[in-house]
């Protein structure tokens, strides 16, 4: 995401429906925030939609500015949902580790190398050996 685009998303989050949540999270001095849906409603000043209490994906983290306005609010404030308990209506938000989030995994992390086995004795890939006429 380019800097100009990220800045535009921050402006949307700072002015949007969930701007009070964005501001609250931006000003928190902790690494984690254990909270309840009710406490979030008091920060926002309005009730969460019914879908927040019915559907776990409502609390999903989304990246690159793609997603719902509530997710943009906590993501652009530097937070992510770490645990959501739909029955107890509680959640844990954690600060994102920017250096880890910005780091791209190496090919070896995605596709780990495997130790090679010994080449079978007598096996050859030389053309002469492959096409040797055997009687």
Point out the least confidently predicted range of 2-6, 11-15, 109-113, 120-124. 109-113
**Residue in 70, 26, 24 with CA at minimum distance from that of residue 43:** 24
* Spatial distance between the Cα atoms of 101 and 39, rounded to a whole number of angstroms: 28
| 104 or 55, which is more confident | 55
Q: Band the pLDDT of 6: cuts 50, 70, 90.
A: low
CA distance 10 to 19: 10
pLDDT at 8 over 60: yes
pLDDT at 76: 82
In the chain, what are the domain boundaries? 3-102
Q: What is the DSSP string of 111-131?
A: S---PPPPPPTT----HHHHS
Is 92 a residue whose pLDDT tops 60? yes
Whether residue 60 has pLDDT greater than 70: yes
Mean pLDDT score, 52-62: 91
């Amino acid at each position: 995401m380019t800097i100009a685009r990220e800045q535009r998303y921050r402006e949307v989050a700072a002015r949007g429906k969930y701007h009070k949540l964005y501001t609250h999270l931006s000003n928190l001095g902790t690494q984690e925030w254990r909270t309840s849906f009710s406490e979030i409603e008091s920060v926002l000043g309005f009730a969460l939609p019914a879908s927040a209490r019915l559907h776990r994906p409502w609390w999903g983290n989304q990246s690159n500015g793609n997603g719902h306005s509530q997710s943009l609010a906590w993501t652009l404030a530097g937070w992510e949902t770490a645990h959501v308990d739909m029955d107890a209506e509680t959640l844990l938000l954690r600060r994102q580790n920017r250096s880890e989030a910005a780091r791209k995994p190496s090919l070896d992390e995605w596709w780990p190398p495997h130790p090679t086995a010994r080449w079978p004795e007598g096996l050859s890939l030389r053309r002469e050996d492959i096409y040797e006429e055997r009687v």
